[in-house]
Amino acid sequence: MPTETLGYVEMEWTCGKCGTRNKGMDRTCTGCGAPMPADQKFERPAESTLLKDEAKVEAAQKGADIHCPYCGARNPGDARACHQCQGDLTKGQRREAGTVLGAHVQTRVEPIPCPSCNTPNAPDAARCVSCGRPLGATAPATPNVPPMAAATSAAPTRSAVMPWVGLAIGAVFLMLCVFVGIWYFNQTTQTTDVSATVGDVHWERIVAIEEQVRVTRSAWRDQIPNEGEVKACELKPREVLSAPDPGRQSEKVCGEPYEVDLGNGASEVRQDCEYQIYDDWCDYSQLEWQVTDRVVASGSDLDPAWPRIALETGQREGNQSETYVVTFVADGRQFEYSVADATDFAGFEPGSDWVLAVDGFGNIDALSPAD
């Protein structure tokens, strides 16, 4: 899926020494001058507005920053020598990049009150404009749990018991399925020999009669047969491609914008897009051969024959089908057996004796002539 860049957002980092909140591209703390450590994480700003400063946009496109292996200073991604000690950055530690930070939402954030003097400050302010206190992130306070609530939480609840009930029901159901499976397997695999006599035979042969009938179908315009008569068409979505199709109507469809950490104090706002391609979906009509009648011949002997057919103008013979059934009789019970073709069917002479292997459901699994 093609990815588009919508712009860049400057992130933030909080100094671990003085608590000052700094702009993401500031490589040293604006409060105490301490360098940003290699293990220091960037944070998303309160307001994710796209950068308009061309110099910062160019800096964001240079890739992840590199920490000097000698003095630890943070350097731009395209730097070859450390800006602080002039050390070779070939073996420097490049900052981690590529982490998806989440959706990009441009919302207006209200001024942040200073924890010390309560003066309103801009959401991206590093220090209070009134008292100068650093405005870094602070950990949320852990709420106190009343003793009664803690005691109540220790008691078992219905939601805690329900999973065990579900497991018990599942175990019983599984055991029942195993029992039924074993029973069914035994019924179909264990057979009993039965001495039987051919009591009746029956055959049936069918020939379908077809005529050309005009029918209405629907398909994409380029899939309509040459003989098809187009009736009406409408544009419908047909497929999704990574690029527009010059010969067809294309609609660009993009997902929700999201931010990716670039490892240099900025995040890239990306958007995955694709193209919905439209095509003509048409109704058309054409002549098709369809079954309009069937001619049937049947009998209760061993001499099957195909029915005689008299075709009318515009008709033709369609598919043929045939069935052969032998009925065995044994101690007042009857067993039906389907034969594959006329050649095998001819061997079941009425009154002849056979030995049947019958399963638990009364189906004939195998048979052979009696000695």
Burial of 326 (C-beta count, 10 Å sphere; 0-12/13-18/19+): buried
pLDDT of residue 124: 66
Does one domain contain both 37 and 49?
Answer: yes
Measured CA to CA in angstroms, residue 57 lies from 53, 96, 337 at distances of: 6, 19, 83
153 inside domain: no
Does one domain contain both 17 and 29?
Answer: yes
pLDDT of residue 53: 94
Range of the domain at 135: 1-139
Choose among 65, 10, 76, 17: nearest CA to 38: 65
Burial of 273 (C-beta count, 10 Å sphere; 0-12/13-18/19+): middle
**CA dist., res. 97 & res. 185, Å (int):** 59
305 inside domain: yes
Amino acid letter, 78? D
> Which H or E element spans position 298?
strand 266-299
DSSP 222: G
Does one domain contain both 81 and 53?
Answer: yes
Contact 140, 294 (CB under 8 A): no
251 inside domain: yes
Judged against a pLDDT cut of 70, whether residue 150 lies above it is answered with no
Does one domain contain both 205 and 325?
Answer: yes
Amino acid letter, 18? C
Tokens standing for 10?
A: 């400057």
Does one domain contain both 49 and 123?
Answer: yes
Who contacts 104 (Cβ-Cβ below 8 Å, separation ≥6)? 6, 9, 48, 256, 257, 258, 259, 269
Amino acid letter, 123? P
Judged against a pLDDT cut of 70, whether residue 34 lies above it is answered with yes
Judged against a pLDDT cut of 60, whether residue 138 lies above it is answered with no
**CA dist., res. 40 & res. 254, Å (int):** 34
At residue 157 the predicted structure's pLDDT band, cuts being 50, 70 and 90, is low
Does one domain contain both 124 and 183?
Answer: no
**CA dist., res. 366 & res. 354, Å (int):** 10
Does one domain contain both 365 and 225?
Answer: no
pLDDT of residue 332: 87
pLDDT of residue 139: 36
pLDDT of residue 118: 79
Tokens standing for 362?
A: 């009364």
Contact 100, 259 (CB under 8 A): yes
152 inside domain: no
pLDDT of residue 156: 55
**CA dist., res. 78 & res. 66, Å (int):** 9
Does one domain contain both 198 and 220?
Answer: no
Does one domain contain both 201 and 168?
Answer: no
Mean pLDDT of the chain: 88
Contact 10, 126 (CB under 8 A): no
Domain count, the chain: 4
Does one domain contain both 82 and 178?
Answer: no
Query: pTM of this prediction?
Result: 0.57
Strands 66-67 and 93-94, sheet pairing: antiparallel
* Mean per-residue pLDDT, 102-118: 77
265 inside domain: no
The predicted-structure confidence for 309-346, as pLDDT tens digits, reads as follows: 999 999 999 999 999 999 999 988 999 999 999 999 99
261 inside domain: no
Instruction: Please report which residue ranges of the chain form alpha helices under DSSP H.
Output: 54-60, 147-154, 158-189, 342-345
> Which H or E element spans position 236?
strand 229-241
Burial of 67 (C-beta count, 10 Å sphere; 0-12/13-18/19+): buried
Measured CA to CA in angstroms, residue 191 lies from 93, 194, 358 at distances of: 76, 9, 5
Does one domain contain both 227 and 251?
Answer: yes
Long-range contacts of 162-167 (CB under 8 A, 24+ apart): none
Judged against a pLDDT cut of 90, whether residue 9 lies above it is answered with yes
Does one domain contain both 73 and 168?
Answer: no
